[in-house]
Chains A and B, each alone.
Chain A
Amino acid sequence: MKKLQTIFGILSGALSLVLTIGVKTFFSACDHMTDTGAYMSCHWAEQAVFAISLVLCVTSVAMVLMRDPKMRSGLAMAMVPQAVITMLIPNVFINLCMKTDMQCHSVMRPAVMLLCGGIAVCAAIAAFLGIKAKEKA
């Protein structure tokens, strides 16, 4: 049980890492405008996602390093709403670009949503496993 919890912890940590790196590279928001050089609002969504994803990384590392299954569950539980909120940042909390065929809509948003969905599910499973382990003991 504990091993399984660790696996899901590592999994959510890995996804968080992919999110952190990816949102700045593979699936970043749109470039700044070529003529004026100004950033569009999707850039700020990217920054916000990047910031929370760092928190997700740290939380998941802490969770994996922690011994006590209760503590682990607590940290994992905290990750679930974090991931859900990150999912909502692009276009719900922070508007993306005008045209939905632009990179922030067509690449960044789905990638962020899928990864955050994955993190939320893994973290939820890890939290659940910890609670069950506690009941057994």
Chain B
Amino acid sequence: MVLKGEGIAKEFIREGRGTNRFPAVSDTDIELAPGTLTVLSGRSGSGKTTLLNMLSGLLPPTRGRVLLGEQDLYSLPDRELSRLRNEKIGVIPQGQTAIHSLTVSENILLPCALYGKPDKSAEAYAAKLMEQLDIAPLAGVRPSELSGGELRRMAIARALIRRPEIIFADEPTGDLDDENTAAVFDFLRSTAHEGAAVLVVTHEASAGDYADRQLVMKAGKIDI
């Protein structure tokens, strides 16, 4: 399924003297097609994460529409949109994003548990993902005992567990060493090969080697 942003823009209201609106993202068109890995780079503050949040259904745009296939995401009520995001969209957020009271494998299976019970096939898939991401021995461990790279790989497995059609990764290699960085990009690349539309927001220069398409953001606009 194709994800399309049509003229989406986001303006934040800055607090301070008077209200001044500042545009984080100006009217932007973007399309993410199945099987392609798109890399989005740009300086910090250029609006990359805001764009990603709008596209992934987490942040309603000030103007414009986000379409998944024919469906306008933000016309859906929160419950249905959440459900849709749960099933079709996988997000690897910035930073450390573990639920600390759950073990690694419970964290990974959590998306399957939100609207039902994880079944055998989900558990098998989780095991396979952990194997591929090299965190299988950590399945029963709590996140507090994991390193940054391991946590990131756990977040990747969690984003993929529902076999989403669209995958967003926000600085997935931000605090990783070169070896881990390569592993993560390899993995995202192979996921795109399998048919998912992948958007990676990154500073990483080496990301270009894995991309089908490279976009650069500058002051809220995509600079092609």
State if A and B touch, Cβ cutoff 8 Å: no
Q: What residues of chain B have their CB less than 8 Å away from a CB belonging to chain A? A: none
Chain A residues with CB under 8 Å of chain B are none
